[in-house]
Amino acid sequence: MNNSLLILFLFSSLCIFSNDGAYYASGNQLIPINETDICITKEILSIVKKTEYDKENDSKMDYAYVTVNYTFFNSSAEKTILVGFEAPSPSGDVNGHPIKGRHPYISKFDVTMNGQLLDHKTSIVNEETYYINNKINEKTENEVVGDDFDSNDPNFYYVYHFDAKFKQGINKIIHTYRFALSGSIMNEYSFDYILTAANRWGNHQIDDFTLNINMGDSESFYIQNTFFNDKDAWVIDNGRSVNSYSQYDEEPVSKFVIHTGGISFKKKNFKPRGELYLYVPQRYMKDNYEVFDYKQHDLPDKISIRDTKEHRNSEIHTCTYSIDEASFKILRNLPFAIRGYVFKTKIIQDYYLSQIWYKPNASYSLNLNTLSKEEKEWLKVVKQNTW
């Protein structure tokens, strides 16, 4: 029997958060350390967001349910391989204490191989080179949680490991788990998943790759264009997409506006050049920014009295100032977009198509008389505060 170690390198994907945000966990591919005979012939990666009640915090929490359905081909004789799932500790505004020796924000961890549920063990380690002489150099909870333990920034990580027997030929592995989605003052939630690790298998690629993402109905989110060229690489069940650019991103991003269902990405001979990073920015209209910039800010589907002159001099930002001419034109047309007006100017139409609430109505014509008293007053304020 040939024993080697396969690891899901979550460690390298760790994001650093201060106390104004929380990094909980992320996902990853199976990675062979020394193995070269086994190839990934097919993979279906499915990520589904669910909002569930958390008893410990007495509040609702967003979770990512991950299912990875692998088809492997072993060209050599049968072999048993130690497989590991590596997860960094959470950081930021979190409680980083282990729960019975396990990651506090990862749960429902299961692995099925060729139809058989595999037993697994969780080890706490504090070195990247913890697999020494065919043995995991694990630490006890008491060793890593001492008097100087910082629950907001633990310095250890976890390895979920199990023995996987690869028979000669085709092998199926289904891996499932749940983790809490990260969040911050900038993002309502976010998650990342390491894709490039797949390049380390025997064929240095995934022969047939499918990625399914379902964030729920009536949702919009951004994905960095790291492993795909543009929005047209995706199939959308019921919604739309727009290429977008944000000053906070080094990579271009695509925005997806979903009414129902999800999105799918498929690729043959997939050699990922970047990782999956998905996020939903905080959706404040007023309190989070003072000047409206269409490249990074969303708009609401309703204008209330709070946005009018009664609050013009209050401490609440009315967001009636625009950073540039395009932002001004978009802001000025908000009342008409709410009614579904189809704009002839591409930049305005593209922006409103990126808003989850916008529903084009070709029969609606621009008519000031259809606006409410608050909307008419709001238009006056916007016009006065030109860019």
pLDDT of amino acid 10? 46
Is a pLDDT exceeding 70 seen at residue 127? yes
pLDDT of amino acid 18? 42
pLDDT of amino acid 357? 87
Neighbouring CB atoms inside 10 A of 88's CB total 21
pLDDT of amino acid 30? 61
Residues 6+ apart with CB under 8 A from 209: 42, 43, 45, 198, 265, 266, 267, 268, 270
Please give the share of the chain, as a percent, with pLDDT higher than 70.
84
In this prediction, residue 33 has a pLDDT band, given cuts at 50, 70 and 90, of low
Residues 6+ apart with CB under 8 A from 346: none
User: Between 287 and 91, where is the model more confident?
Assistant: 91
Distances (CA, A) of 380 to 311, 352, 373: 14, 21, 11
Is a pLDDT exceeding 60 seen at residue 287? no
pLDDT of amino acid 32? 60
pLDDT of amino acid 307? 44
SS (H, E, C) 136-188: ECCECHHHHCCCCCCCCCCCCEEEEEEEEEECCEEEEEEEEEEEECEEECCEE
User: Between 1 and 47, where is the model more confident?
Assistant: 47
pTM of the prediction? Answer: 0.78
Note the pLDDT tens digit of each residue in 44-72: 999 999 999 877 667 788 999 999 999 99
Which residue segments constitute the domains of the chain, with CATH numbers given? Answer: 5-281 (2.60.40.3680), 291-384 (1.20.58.1690)
Asked if residues 109 and 87 have their Cβ atoms less than 8 Å apart, the reply is no
Is a pLDDT exceeding 50 seen at residue 135? yes
Asked if residues 35 and 81 have their Cβ atoms less than 8 Å apart, the reply is yes
Please give the share of the chain, as a percent, with pLDDT higher than 90.
40
Note the pLDDT tens digit of each residue in 71-80: 999 999 999 8
Is a pLDDT exceeding 80 seen at residue 310? no
To which H or E segment does residue 318 belong?
none
- Mean pLDDT for 363-371 is 88
pLDDT of amino acid 257? 86
In this prediction, residue 13 has a pLDDT band, given cuts at 50, 70 and 90, of very low
Note the pLDDT tens digit of each residue in 186-235: 788 998 898 988 888 888 999 999 999 999 988 889 999 999 988 889 99
The secondary structure of residue 15, as a DSSP letter, is P
pLDDT of amino acid 218? 81
Q: What's the whole-number average pLDDT of the chain?
A: 83
Note the pLDDT tens digit of each residue in 231-249: 889 999 988 887 666 555 5
Is a pLDDT exceeding 60 seen at residue 180? yes
Note the pLDDT tens digit of each residue in 311-337: 444 333 345 678 899 999 999 999 999
pLDDT of amino acid 311? 45
Highest mean pLDDT among 117-131, 290-304, 331-345: 331-345
User: Between 31 and 209, where is the model more confident?
Assistant: 209
